[in-house]
């Protein structure tokens, strides 16, 4: 896989570098493709099988929900056997974050709108700091603190940025700088505005995505526009395409975005005409067949 095309004119932000399970993120390192499992994390067999499928199509870091005692109990074995670095997604219970760190996760995603108490964040940092476990401040427009929604009148870009900065400052005051930030909304342009604003205020790595983007087609279009704009402006160090579809599809779309922009290359790109009356064979059928046949090829190739 090429890290970046020689023809790209994109100049990326020089962000702070951190490591997630040995994968370097930020700075001049490649934009990393992530996804999230949709299996029950407690179902170790199903979750590991899905992670292996994700790896096969090009996923580089995987996130899993740790939302129950059963899920937490599965984490030590999951982290041990996963072929990809595992990030624990924590929404409400800080004890799940502490337990996940002890289980061996490579990173955490915390939602500042759901984990609000400073003493709980302090307890998480106490475990993450000596292990150098990165924390993503994962802001979501749908779960912002009420005071921010009241202040700005809506869950907009400014509200998301202030939420992220508030959490980042709390972490910094605890001596923690292994921080990554995301600011996701289902509104594409609101998301773009939020990332543009925060990129001028901090140099932490940014994880890109459009939350609740939609089904295969709608979600792929929304994500391609939002993520594409930001990548073109040099913003973004990791990304996830969120789709109401199997997570393998998320990874395929993510690589299509990177391929199309010349940022990274992986797999086969089938060039096919849109067809018209001049076509003398079934172009759509042949193009689809070629794409399916060559789907397992990792080496960059244009046909």
Mean per-residue pLDDT over the chain, rounded: 88
For 32-61, the pLDDT digits (tens) are 999 999 999 999 999 999 999 999 999 999
For 267-284, the pLDDT digits (tens) are 666 565 666 555 555 556
For 162-194, the pLDDT digits (tens) are 999 999 999 999 999 999 999 999 899 999 999
Helices (H), 174-215: 188-199
d(CA 55, CA 35): 10
Domains 18-265 and 267-303 share a fold: no
143: its two tokens: 């779960």
Phi, psi of 224 (to 5 degrees): -65, -40
Q: Is the pLDDT of residue 298 over 70?
A: no
For 126-153, the pLDDT digits (tens) are 999 999 999 999 999 888 889 999 999 9
Q: Where do the structural domains in the chain lie, given as residue ranges?
A: 18-265, 267-303
Most confident of 208-212, 225-229, 242-246: 225-229
Query: Which residues, listed in sequence order, are joined to residue 65 by a DSSP beta bridge?
Result: 89
CATH code that applies to domain 267-303: 3.30.413.10
What per-residue confidence (pLDDT) applies to 246? 93
CATH architecture classification, 18-265: Alpha-Beta Barrel (3.20)
């Amino acid at each position: 896989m090429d890290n970046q095309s020689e023809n790209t004119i994109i100049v990326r932000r020089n962000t702070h570098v951190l490591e997630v399970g040995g994968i370097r993120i930020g700075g001049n390192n490649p934009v990393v493709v992530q996804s999230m499992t949709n299996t029950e994390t407690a179902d170790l067999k199903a979750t590991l099988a899905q992670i292996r499928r994700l790896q096969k199509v090009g996923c580089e870091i995987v996130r899993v929900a740790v939302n129950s005692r059963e899920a937490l109990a599965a984490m030590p074995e999951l982290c041990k056997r996963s072929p990809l670095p595992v990030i624990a997604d924590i929404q409400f219970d800080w004890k799940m974050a502490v337990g996940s760190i002890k289980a061996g996760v490579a990173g955490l995603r915390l939602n500042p709108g759901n984990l609000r108490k400073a003493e709980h964040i302090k307890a998480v940092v106490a475990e993450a700091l000596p292990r150098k476990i990165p924390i993503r401040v994962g802001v979501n427009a749908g779960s912002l603190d009420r005071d921010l929604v009241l202040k700005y009148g809506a869950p907009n870009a400014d509200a998301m940025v202030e939420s992220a900065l508030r959490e980042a400052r709390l972490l910094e005051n605890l001596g923690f700088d292994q921080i990554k930030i995301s600011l996701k909304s289902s509104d594409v342009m609101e998301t773009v505005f939020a990332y543009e604003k925060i990129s001028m205020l901090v140099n932490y790595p940014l994880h890109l995505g459009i939350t609740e983007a939609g089904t295969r087609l709608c979600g792929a279009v929304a994500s391609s526009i939002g993520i594409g704009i930001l990548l073109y402006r040099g913003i973004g160090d990791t990304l996830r395409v969120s789709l109401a579809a199997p997570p393998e599809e998320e990874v395929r779309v993510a690589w299509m975005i990177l391929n199309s922009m010349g940022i990274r290359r992986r797999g086969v790109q089938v060039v096919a005409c849109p067809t018209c009356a001049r076509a003398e064979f079934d172009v759509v059928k042949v193009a689809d067949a070629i794409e399916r046949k060559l789907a397992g090829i990792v080496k960059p190739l244009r046909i």
